[in-house]
C-alpha cells in the first residue's frame, strides 16, 4: 500500500531572507497532519522528501545536507510530532525552514516547527528563557526528563537550540539544526528550476501523479488492504470534520484526482442544506476553484438512489473550443476551471443506520468514465465513511448531553471569599461521560463561606445522581447552621437512606421479574468528600475548619515552603452508619495556601508509580511558596499532566485557597 497522501505547501515568505542569498525570500516547506498515530511516520517522510527536493533544486545550502543532518532532522521531527499527537491530540502543523544566520561569517540552519492547537499553556515565568525570536532553551541546556520527558532531552541533544512558543490557542515547539559546510553563493540558481521546485507538490504520495496510478491493483489484494487501512483510520475519529478530512486524503490521489464531501445538518429537517465539509484536489492550485464551483451547488441524488455510484456532470464547464479571433476582436482567454481539462465524476450517498448523512463526489480528469473496479471500491469505502460519521455524531450528541448535565450539576459561579483568593481546576477524563468530581464555594449565614470538593464513585449517570443529591444537601445543611462535622454526619445518613430506598426498588424489580436477578449496573452510592468553612478574622487572615471523609487530605503551605496535612483521615460517606465525623480548625495567615485535590491527582499513574508516592504532591506544592492561587493551581495541574505520557484516566479536580 502507498502511504497516506498528504498535500504539502512549499512557500517563499515575502520580506524574509533565504539561506544563501542577499536578497529574496527564504525557503520553507509546510504540511498539516491529522492527530493520529500515523502522523509521525508521515512527518518523517515529509522531512526527507523536502531535503531531497531542495538538494535537487540546487539550493546552495543543500550541499551541507549531510546524511547526519538528515537523520537528525528526521529524529527531531519524529519526537516533536509524536509529543504533539500524544499530548495534544489535535491537528499538527509542521514547518521546515532553511535560514541564513550571521553577517561576517554567514551560516545556514534548518529550523523545524511543530505546532498543535491545544489551548493549555504554562505558568508565566516557568517556561524556557526566550531566545532572539522565540521562547528558547539555549544550546547545551538539557531539559529535565521528569518535567519534559526524554523526547525533548533527545531534541536538546541534537539541536543547537530549541524552544516553545505560545500563542492564543497554539503551542509551537521548534528546534534549530546547523547546516554543515555552508558558504554563500555568488549568484542565485536558475530561476525557472527554482519556481518548478517551489510549486506546491504532494511529495508524500507516490500515487500523486496521474501516470503512477495503477487501477489494476484494486481488483485483488490492493482493495482489501486499502479498506482495512481506511477502517483503522476512520474508526478512531470522534469529530465528523476530521473524518471528512481523512477520507479526502485517502481518496485523493489514490482513487481520484479530486473529491468533495458534503455532510447533512443533523436535525436540520428536509429544507436544510448540506454543508461542504471537505474539498481535496491532487493539484492544490485546483482546490479553491473547485470549492468555488461546488459550494453553492451540492449534488442532488435521486430519491431512490442507494449507496452505489451515480454518474453526474463535472461541476465546471468544459473548456471553450478554440476559435480564431475576428478582425478587431481580442482573443478570449479560456475560462479558468479546476484541473485544466474535462473528465468523469461519480456521486455516492453517505448512509448509516438507514439515514442519509451526506454525499461524496469524486472525479477523474481526462477520462470518459471511472473504472468499474474503482467505483466499486469507492462505494465500499463510502460505507465505512458513513459508519465513522455516524459514530462521530453519536459521540458528539453524548458529549453535548454530558456537558449540559455537567453544567447543571456544578455551580455556574463560585463565591468570592473576603481576604482569600481561590483557583479551581476541573478536567473530566472523558468529555462524553459525566464526571464524578464536583466542587462548590458558597456563602452561609454568620459571615461564613463554605467550600466543597467531592468525588463520587464511578462516572456517568450513577455519578450524576449522587452529585445531584449531595451538592444541594450540602448547601442546605450548611445554611441551617450545622458545624462541619455535623454536616457530614447528616449527609452520611441521607446517602444511606437513599441507598436503602434504591435497594428496596431493586428488590421489587427482582420480584416483578419472577425472582430473576436483574443486572442494571446499579452501584453503591458513596463518595469521598472534603468539606470546610472559612471565617475572616478582624486582624487579617481567616479561620478555617475542615473535615475529610475518605478524601485525599488537604495540604497547608506556609510562606517558608513547609507543607503539612490540614485534616485527619476518616471513612467514606454512604458506607457505615453511626459515624461521628470530626473536624480540625487552624488559621490561614496572609501568605498561607490550602490545597485540596481529588484522587485523580494523588493516584495519577506512570507505570507502577503514583503521583503522590513519597509525598510527591507535597514536594510540588512546596515549590509554589510565594505564588498566587492561580499560579499554584496551574503548576500543580501541569505537574499532574507531565507525570505520565498518557492523558489522565480519571477526573482531575483541585481547589487552591490563598490568604492575602
Smallest CA-to-CA distance from 563 within 597, 535, 539, 533 is with: 597
Torsion of CA 411, 412, 418, 419, to 10 degrees: 90
φ, ψ dihedrals at 242, nearest 5°? -70, -35
Q: Are strands 310-312 and 437-444 parallel, antiparallel or unpaired?
A: unpaired
Residues 6+ apart with CB under 8 A from 434: 402, 405, 406, 409, 428, 459, 460, 461, 463, 464, 467
pLDDT band at 327 (very low <50, low <70, confident <90, very high): low
User: Does 624 have pLDDT greater than 90?
Assistant: yes
User: Does 29 have pLDDT greater than 60?
Assistant: yes
Residue 515 has a pLDDT of 53
Whole-angstrom Cα distance, residue 237 to residue 249?
Answer: 14
Neighbours of 567 (CB within 10 A): 24
Helices (H), 159-281: 191-198, 222-235, 240-251
Residue 592 has a pLDDT of 96
- For 650, which DSSP code? S
Rounded mean pLDDT, 303-332: 65
What angle separates helix 240-251 from helix 222-235, to the nearest 10 degrees? 160
User: Does 384 have pLDDT greater than 70?
Assistant: yes
pLDDT band at 287 (very low <50, low <70, confident <90, very high): confident
Residue 14 has a pLDDT of 32
Lowest mean pLDDT among 22-36, 44-58, 330-344, 637-651: 330-344
Residue 204 has a pLDDT of 31
Mean residue pLDDT across the chain: 76
Whole-angstrom Cα distance, residue 279 to residue 276?
Answer: 8
Lowest mean pLDDT among 56-70, 172-186, 317-331: 317-331
Highest mean pLDDT among 312-316, 402-406, 522-526, 649-653: 649-653
Lowest mean pLDDT among 344-358, 512-526, 595-609: 512-526
Residues 6+ apart with CB under 8 A from 25: 12, 13, 14, 15, 16, 17, 18
pLDDT by residue (tens digit) across 429-476?
A: 776 566 678 899 999 998 999 999 998 876 666 667 777 778 888 999
Whole-angstrom Cα distance, residue 39 to residue 61?
Answer: 28
What's this model's pTM, rounded to 2 decimal places? Answer: 0.52
Rounded mean pLDDT, 298-309: 79
Residue 505 has a pLDDT of 53
Rounded mean pLDDT, 163-172: 77
pLDDT band at 105 (very low <50, low <70, confident <90, very high): low
Residue 436 has a pLDDT of 75
Smallest CA-to-CA distance from 620 within 636, 600, 637 is with: 636
User: Is 316 or 447 the better-scoring residue by pLDDT?
Assistant: 447
User: Does 118 have pLDDT greater than 50?
Assistant: yes
For 143, the grid coordinates are 531539559
Lowest mean pLDDT among 62-71, 72-81, 502-511, 566-575: 502-511
Asked if residues 156 and 162 have their Cβ atoms less than 8 Å apart, the reply is yes
Percent of the chain with pLDDT over 90: 30
Residue 591 has a pLDDT of 95
User: Does 594 have pLDDT greater than 90?
Assistant: yes
pLDDT by residue (tens digit) across 404-429?
A: 766 666 777 888 999 999 999 998 87
Q: Concatenate the DSSP letters of all residues of 263-283 into one string.
A: EPPTT--TTPPPEEEEEEESS
Amino acid at each position: 500500500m502507498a502511504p497516506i497522501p498528504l498535500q504539502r505547501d512549499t512557500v517563499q515568505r515575502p520580506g524574509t531572507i533565504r539561506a544563501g542569498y542577499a536578497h529574496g525570500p527564504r525557503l520553507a516547506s509546510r504540511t498539516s497532519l491529522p492527530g493520529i498515530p500515523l502522523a509521525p511516520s508521515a512527518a518523517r517522510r515529509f522531512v526527507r522528501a523536502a531535503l531531497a527536493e531542495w538538494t535537487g533544486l540546487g539550493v546552495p545550502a543543500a550541499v551541507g545536507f549531510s546524511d547526519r543532518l538528515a537523520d537528525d532532522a528526521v529524529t527531531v521531527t519524529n519526537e516533536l510530532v509524536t509529543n504533539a499527537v500524544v499530548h495534544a491530540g489535535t491537528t499538527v502543523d509542521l514547518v521546515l525552514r532553511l535560514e541564513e544566520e550571521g553577517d561576517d561569517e554567514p551560516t545556514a540552519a534548518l529550523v523545524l516547527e511543530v505546532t498543535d492547537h491545544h489551548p493549555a499553556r504554562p505558568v508565566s515565568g516557568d517556561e524556557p528563557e526566550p531566545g532572539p525570536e522565540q521562547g528558547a532553551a539555549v544550546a547545551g541546556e538539557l531539559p529535565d526528563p521528569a518535567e519534559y520527558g526524554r523526547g525533548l532531552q533527545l531534541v536538546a541533544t541534537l539541536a543547537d537550540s530549541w524552544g516553545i512558543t505560545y500563542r492564543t490557542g497554539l503551542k509551537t515547539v521548534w528546534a534549530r539544526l546547523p547546516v554543515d559546510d555552508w558558504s554563500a553563493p555568488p549568484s542565485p540558481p536558475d530561476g525557472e528550476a527554482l519556481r518548478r521546485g517551489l510549486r506546491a507538490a504532494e511529495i508524500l504520495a507516490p500515487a500523486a501523479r496521474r501516470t503512477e496510478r495503477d487501477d489494476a491493483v484494486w481488483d485483488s489484494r490492493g482493495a482489501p488492504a486499502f479498506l482495512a487501512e481506511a477502517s483503522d483510520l476512520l474508526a478512531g475519529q470522534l469529530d465528523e470534520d476530521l473524518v471528512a478530512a481523512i477520507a479526502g486524503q485517502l481518496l485523493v490521489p489514490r482513487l481520484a484526482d479530486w473529491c468533495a464531501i458534503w455532510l447533512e445538518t443533523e436535525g436540520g429537517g428536509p429544507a436544510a442544506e448540506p454543508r461542504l465539509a471537505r474539498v481535496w484536489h491532487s493539484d492544490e492550485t485546483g482546490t479553491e476553484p473547485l470549492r468555488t464551483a461546488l459550494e453553492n451547488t451540492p449534488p442532488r441524488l435521486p430519491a431512490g438512489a442507494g449507496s452505489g455510484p451515480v454518474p453526474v456532470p463535472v461541476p465546471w464547464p468544459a473548456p471553450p473550443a478554440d476559435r480564431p479571433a475576428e478582425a478587431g476582436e481580442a482573443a478570449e482567454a479560456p475560462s479558468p476551471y479546476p484541473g485544466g481539462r474535462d473528465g468523469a465524476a461519480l456521486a455516492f450517498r453517505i448512509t448509516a443506520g438507514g439515514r442519509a448523512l451526506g454525499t461524496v463526489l469524486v472525479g477523474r480528469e481526462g477520462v470518459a468514465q471511472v473504472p468499474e473496479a474503482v467505483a466499486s471500491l469507492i462505494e465500499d469505502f463510502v460505507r465505512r465513511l458513513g459508519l465513522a460519521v455516524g459514530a462521530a455524531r453519536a459521540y458528539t450528541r453524548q458529549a453535548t448531553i454530558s456537558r449540559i448535565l455537567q453544567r447543571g450539576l456544578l455551580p455556574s459561579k463560585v463565591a468570592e471569599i473576603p481576604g482569600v483568593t481561590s483557583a479551581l481546576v476541573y478536567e473530566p477524563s472523558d468529555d462524553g461521560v459525566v464526571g464524578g468530581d464536583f466542587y462548590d464555594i458558597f456563602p452561609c449565614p454568620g459571615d461564613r463561606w463554605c467550600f466543597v470538593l467531592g468525588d463520587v464513585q464511578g462516572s456517568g449517570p450513577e455519578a450524576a445522581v449522587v452529585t445531584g443529591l449531595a451538592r444541594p444537601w450540602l448547601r442546605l445543611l450548611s445554611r441551617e447552621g450545622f458545624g462541619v462535622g455535623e454536616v457530614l454526619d447528616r449527609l452520611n445518613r441521607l446517602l444511606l437512606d437513599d441507598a436503602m430506598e434504591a435497594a428496596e426498588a431493586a428488590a421489587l424489580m427482582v420480584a416483578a421479574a419472577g425472582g430473576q436477578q436483574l443486572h442494571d449496573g446499579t452501584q453503591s452510592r458513596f463518595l469521598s468528600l472534603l468539606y470546610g468553612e472559612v471565617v475572616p478574622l478582624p486582624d487579617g487572615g481567616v479561620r478555617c475548619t475542615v473535615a475529610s471523609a475518605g478524601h485525599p487530605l488537604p495540604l497547608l503551605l506556609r510562606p517558608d515552603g513547609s507543607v503539612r496535612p490540614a485534616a485527619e483521615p476518616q471513612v467514606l460517606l454512604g458506607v457505615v452508619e453511626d459515624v461521628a465525623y470530626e473536624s480540625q480548625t487552624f488559621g490561614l495567615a496572609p501568605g498561607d495556601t490550602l490545597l485540596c485535590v481529588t484522587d485523580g491527582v494523588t493516584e495519577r499513574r506512570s507505570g507502577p508509580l503514583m503521583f503522590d508516592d513519597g509525598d510527591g504532591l507535597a514536594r510540588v506544592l512546596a515549590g509554589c511558596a510565594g505564588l498566587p492561587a492561580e499560579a499554584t493551581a496551574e503548576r500543580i495541574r501541569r505537574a499532574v499532566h507531565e507525570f505520565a505520557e498518557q492523558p489522565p484516566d480519571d477526573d482531575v479536580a483541585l481547589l487552591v485557597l490563598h490568604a492575602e
